Chains A and B, each alone.
Chain A
Amino acid sequence: MQPLSREVAREKSKWLKSLLGEDKIWLKLSVLAGLVAGLMLILQAHLLARAVDATLFHDASVMDLTPLLIGVFAALLIRGVMVMLREWGGQKASSGVRTRLRVALLSRLAELGPSYTRNQRAGEISSLVIEQTEALDAFIARYLPQMSLAALLPLVILAFVFPINWVAGLVFLCTAPLIPLAMALVGMKAADANRRNFKALALLSAYFLDVVQGLTTLKLFSKSREQTHIIGKNAEEFRIRTMQVLRLAFLSSAVLEFFASVSIAILAVYLGFSFLGLIEVGSWSGGVTLYHALFILILAPEFYLPLKELGTHYHAKQEAIAAAERLMDIFDELDRAETGGDQEPPTGAPTVHLSNIGFSYAAHLPPVLRNLNLTLNSGECVALVGPSGVGKSSLLSVLAGFDRPQEGAVLIEGIPLSALKRSSWMKRIALVSQHTTLFPGSIRDNLLIARPDATDAQLDRACEQAALTDVIVQLSKGLDTPVGEAGLGFSGGQIQRLSLARAFLKDAPIVLLDEPTASLDAESEQKVLESLTLLCKGRTTLLVTHRPASMAIADRVYRLVDGRCEAVDDVKMAKGEI
């Protein structure tokens, strides 16, 4: 992998900042609070130095010091409140950005559609939406405000120190610019290491999801124990990568620590020597007083503190940039789905014509569909048969608009699919596919996806039509039974029937059926076919199947051969052939 060039890093950083939008105001609040807290610290240093100086050189008693001490107390109170405000402002900005980014990610995934997500590992994408987005938190909440403070606070302190002693001011001034420079040099290497680190985490996630989902299979093949070593190896790899990042990241904070310690040492020696008369330069007039010396010494660690804190968040910046890179990838991904136009699709069951369709999944892969022509007349059920992997599912995907054909067009009552408003088109179709996803929630929630305003009576009817009622009455909680992972607790056939119930609920004029009865036994299949006949009545239906019983409900049967459709005149003959 190429190391991140500065320009690329800057571009990512810019993108991240552009996410801020209206939340910028919170960051400003955070910076302002930090600045006031810094001023209070300077006031505190001034008062404390005065108090010690007064005691040692003017023989002051505690009573004499009272106004100074009350001043210190007041400064403390204000500082405490400002610290709180600073934290709150940063977090406010960060949660705003992450909320909007996640929403944007989800919308983007929706835009890319099933044709993109089908080829992605869900574990990796979830890590993008959860971890990598979360990785921006420290960058926005802490790093960005700290960056302003690291630039401002040292200047403020300098403004107070210079008028008192120019040598001390020079020590600060000379060491300060070296720090960001050294840190940046180290940081650039850390960025690259960090990107690899993220990759390792994503791989670890994806691998583990795979193992967990397939644990039963691994057990059956006596392979589950071996996974221990592989997981150990991956975890070890992740540790090594993380440490690579950290060793470099810590180096930058060591640079800071070095300058802070050395300048305190130099200042202490310089000030001591000035008192002893060994050094005569530095103060503007009247020599160095103990007040000056103490004031400078108390502020010395504070001068480097904002930079030091920036250093602890520098890691956060690298993480954020690495995350940004992966997040931006999704936004840069090419659309494969039909984007649609603004025309409303015709109402009622339309005639659908697939005209000279050519389609392949990627430029370097051989086409799946070639110059394909097929007409589905209004309200007609057409079955499409052919061996597995011949492209039947791709054809459905093109018809649904999940994939855009490279050649030809899908015409709905003569209007190209690409000109139709996508959301309206989606309202016109119902789909029962081979893989049905059950969403977290109850059976009812999963049915309501198809029609959020459905009444109980409508739900019951849809279940009845999909032959699902028998299953539901067996459950003690009925429709409110929660569904487990991949429908654990439900058989493949039952999940398929749930999917059919969704289609019944939706009541759309176009129905796309992808092996709807594949996993049903003869009895259930017969039941479902009866209701399918009902469903197809008056709707334009494309049925992908290989089951003879299913073919029987079709008005016409086509065979998909070499990416083209061939009419099968005699359904009986087709059954015999296949």
Chain B
Amino acid sequence: MKSLLPFVRLMKFHLGWVVLGSTLGLLTLLSSIGLLALSGWFIAAAALAGVSLASAQAFNYLTPGAGVRAFAMVRTVGRYFERIATHEATFRLLAQLRVWFYQHLEPLNPARLKHYRSSDLLNRIISDINSLDNLYLRVISPTLIAVITSILVAGFLAWVSPMLGLLLLICLCVAGFLIPWLGYRLASGVGEAQVSATSQLRQRAITYVQGMSELHVYSALDSEHAKFVQEQKTLTDAQLRMSLISGLTSGMMAWVAGIATLLALIVAVNMVQAEVLAPAWLALIMFCVLASFEAVAPLPVAYQFLGKTRASAANLLEIAEQTSDIHFPDGAVEVVHPGVVSFKRVNFAYAERRVLDDFNMNVEAGERVAIMGHTGSGKSSLINILARFWEVQAGEVEVGGVNLRAYPESQLRDQFSVLSQPVQLFAGSVRDNLRLSGEDVSDEGMLDVLERLGLLDMLGSEGLQREVGEGGSKLSGGQRKRLGIARALLRNAPILILDEPTEGLDEATEKQVLEVVLTYRPTQTLLMITHHDLFLDRFDQVVRIGPQ
């Protein structure tokens, strides 16, 4: 249950809706029981009074008649507004949860997140958060209403006869706690299985779409298809088990309600025989008991899905409870020498793999440095270190004459403009993507860079409105790369870091791009990671990384 607590706490922001919804629900339910019980009593009393003309004429039918009508109205109106209020509360909570989840996700450094596929994260923010609607709507509010109703109705019957009150309370407890608990126990594990099966199925679906050409060429469609079908079977099997359990619990509910009515009837008949109960009350008691089970009817299904809700909650907490192991101080620093970068005796390793060993590098402001090395030699890890996505194990890294660790996050980001590998573009227009460089970048500025990089043709008739597609899927590899370079160039920062800017470009374009990169901001420090030796003479320094 602990995994659900943080989410219960979040409800306090929507307390008004929560309280309103539950109050209306209680009112509706009580009216519903009142309607049937009063109707039953009214009929029985009238039938008894109707035996003789005198008693029939003396019978006050106005008050019960009005009561019946009032209960009927409250039940109708109450039900509608109860559902509006409870759903409003739930969906407000869900909207808040999505933001809450992102706010916890965002500070985590990429090193932390690299174990998660983005389809998995997507599953969390969409499906898992949707599953939490179960919590208030189907668990908390109905439980609250059921408990209060049970106490009130059992209390009322206890006033008639303590025996009857106790009887109803026991039966309601069995129906309200024991059966839901049974459903919960039977379903625990099944719910979790459903959640993880859905997530795996989604992962398969995403790679199936993304890897369509490979699957075609390698005739692997069928085998991938088969894997999908197999994983789907895990899901439907879990769902079938779930439906058996919910069938069982609702069947048991019907039993308990029926048995309670039977027992109440036996007790009440005896009381009527002993003349301690007015005969017309027999009908009232029967209807009251029958109707009171409406209070506990929704609970078994709710608790049965609690396992699924808990699994979803745990999924969300798994991300939310992670803290970034990299902390940025708050206070601003004074950047003494903007554009200067230095590595002193730096050791750096990813979990298993050593990358930098006693690495030294000094870059002056405005210097152009080519960083070379083999594939996998760790050239790209320089970006991870400078952006503080990863921490070095030993040595000092300074940027602008200030230790890297002294920078608050936003100020550190302001020091660099980075083209990372692979280039990540976002669904939207070319302008949207270039806008990332800064709000103040003008259309003219964008068009100028695009022209220099030979990208104007790509825009076609739509200009900067040209849509790039998901992850830039509507552009060719070379166009994506150059758009990424344009984005990096447009950002005005003291240091420009480019990771393999010309990879995937033909030689002519490569020359054109390098020319732009080397001349666009003459005073900017340039760190260019590359494995080509084109234009090396135009760099001030060449740094080699990894075994020579």
Contacts and interface: CB of A to CB of B under 8 A. Distances in A.
Contact of B473 (A98, A119, A125, A449): A119
Contacts of B265: 48, 51-52, 65, 69
A268 interface: yes
Counting chain B CB atoms within 10 Å of each CB, the highest count among A98, A253, A518 belongs to A518
Contacts of B416: 220
Given A81-B251, A99-B229, A126-B119, A65 B269 contact: yes
B283 A294 contact: yes
Interface string A484-496: 1110110111100
Interface in A423-455: 423, 426-427, 429-431, 433-440, 449-452
A91 B237 CA distance: 10
B206 A220 contact: no
A523 B72 CA distance: 84
B463 to A, nearest CB: 16
Contact of A222 (B91, B125, B202, B414): B414
A428 B17 CA distance: 64
Nearest to A73: B262
B504 A273 contact: no
Contact of A389 (B215, B375, B458): B458
B493 to A, nearest CB: 10
Nearest to B246: A87
Nearest to A391: B476
Interface stretch (B46-54, B146-154, B443-451): B46-54
Contacts of A86: 247
Contacts of B95: 232, 235-236, 238-239
Contacts of A386: 506
Contacts of A492: 421-422, 500, 503
Contacts of A485: 114, 116-119
A216 B202 contact: no
Nearest to B114: A488
B471 A110 contact: no
B91 A44 contact: no
B290 A272 contact: no
B282 interface: yes
A124 to B, nearest CB: 8
A386 B103 CA distance: 45
Contacts of A59: 273
Given A235-B98, A290-B44, A80 B254 contact: yes
B207 interface: yes
Nearest to A114: B213
Contacts of B83: 246, 250, 253
Q: Which 3 A-B pairs have the closest CB atoms?
A: A388-B478, A546-B506, A437-B211
A426 B219 CA distance: 6
Counting chain A CB atoms within 10 Å of each CB, the highest count among B127, B244, B506, B510 belongs to B506
A130 B205 contact: yes
Contact of B290 (A205, A206, A262, A298): A298
Nearest to A221: B436
B318 interface: no
A220 B244 contact: no
A265 B212 contact: no
Interface stretch (A9-17, A155-163, A207-215, A317-325): A207-215
Interface stretch (B165-173, B220-228, B517-525): B220-228
A223 B435 CA distance: 10
A121 B53 contact: no
Contacts of A83: 247, 250-251, 254
Contacts of A79: 251, 254, 258
B470 A275 contact: no
Interface in A34-75: 44, 48, 51-52, 55-56, 59-62, 65, 69, 72-73, 75
A434 B214 CA distance: 11
Interface in A221-246: 221-225, 227-228, 231-232, 234-236, 238-239, 242-243, 246
B43 A275 contact: yes
A261 B91 contact: no
B506 A110 contact: no
Interface in B242-279: 242-244, 246-248, 250-252, 254-255, 258-259, 261-262, 265-266, 269-270, 272-273, 279
